[in-house]
Structure 1
Amino acid sequence: MTQATQQLATHPMRRVRVEKLTLNIGAGKDAQLLNKGVKLLEAIAGVPPVKTVTSKRIPGWGLRPGLPIGCKITLRGAGAEGMIPRLLAAKDQMLGERNYDNRGNVSFGIPEYIDIEGAKYDPEIGIIGLQACITLTRAGYRVKRRRLRPASVGRRQVITKDEAMAFMQERFSVKVGEHASGKERR
């Protein structure tokens, strides 16, 4: 590495950090599964979840606007930092390359909540899986969300897939493999 490249890598504006962690359970039309999902997310995170509702009408699936179809929780700051290692332990600290996108997001599913560290089996809930999405950010990302004069984030400031993988390896000791499940896809 040249001296200019090293300075750029250690610059405070280039430092990657966790913006938020979103936990999501999609239940579809099943109201009983939705209530179990709400109970599960509250037990795992200790925060009451928000129910997600449909915005479109899809007659083939029996969906209409305003129908609750899932629930989610968004954790930020210390809550997210404390929950991420527990979720990654359920995946054996292993994520596939497909779990990373080109904008600094890491998404993965957990098929059974009992794999999460500290979660106990509840017979009322049964076995339910959930999805987790970790959104990474760096200084300067606010320009695209501000109310006055929003602008796009510069190309050099956008978090790449490789930077996201390096951050997760360094910060959370995540190993990157081809397939996170360890099984061959057919």
Structure 2
Amino acid sequence: PVGCKVTLRGKKAEEILRVILEGVKELSEKQFNPGFLTFGIKEYIQIPSVPYKRELGILGFDVAVTLKRKGFRVKKRKIKRSKIGSSHRISKEETIKFFKDKFNVSVR
């Protein structure tokens, strides 16, 4: 098996995420955490717009989505690093609400 990691940001990330979420019928509340979501696709043919390619065979992959508010850089920068206040952090409930509103995801 070969591993690969791809980072997408902005509009392109939203487009790809919409396509991938079409293949996922339902997400579990356990897959959501404060500020991020992770889930797996068992077979890439579960995504409606992706055709089966015989030379590839059947492959699955994992998806990890991280949400950040403006100002999160303060926590990671090298000079004058500072803590992020609890009101600025993204809660699990906010993460679920964001995905329900923006991507029409059903959560069980």
Taking structure 1 as the reference length, the TM-score comes to 0.56
Cα distance, 1:118 vs structure 2: 1.9
Q: Which amino acid aligns with 2:19?
A: R
Distance 1:111 1:151 in 2: 40
Distance 1:95 1:153 in 2: 29
Distance 2:50 2:91 in 1: 33
Cα distance, 1:117 vs structure 2: 3.1
Structure with bigger gyration radius: 1
Q: Which amino acid aligns with 2:13?
A: A
Given candidates 20, 39, 46, the residue that maps to 1:87 is 20
Show structure 1 runs of 5+ residues with no match: 1-32, 35-69, 178-186
- For the residue of structure 1 that corresponds to 2:8, the secondary structure is strand
Distance 2:59 2:9 in 1: 24
Pick 1 or 2: higher relative contact order, CA cutoff 8 A, min separation 6: 2
Cα distance, 1:158 vs structure 2: 0.6
Matched with 1:101 is 33
Number of equivalences: 108
Cα distance, 1:147 vs structure 2: 2.2
Cα distance, 1:152 vs structure 2: 2.1
Given candidates 100, 104, 107, the residue that maps to 1:173 is 104
- For the residue of structure 1 that corresponds to 2:67, the secondary structure is strand
Cα distance, 1:107 vs structure 2: 0.5
Asked if 1:71 corresponds to 2:10, the answer is no
Same amino acid, percent of matched pairs = 38
Given candidates 96, 101, 116, the residue that maps to 2:47 is 116
Matched with 1:136 is 67
Distance 1:157 1:136 in 2: 12
- For the residue of structure 1 that corresponds to 2:45, the secondary structure is helix
Matched with 1:18 is none
CA displacement 1:123-168 (0-9 Å, x = unmatched) = 1111011000111111221111222122221111110000000111
Distance 2:48 2:12 in 1: 15
Taking structure 2 as the reference length, the TM-score comes to 0.93
Between structures 1 and 2, the one with greater strand share: 1
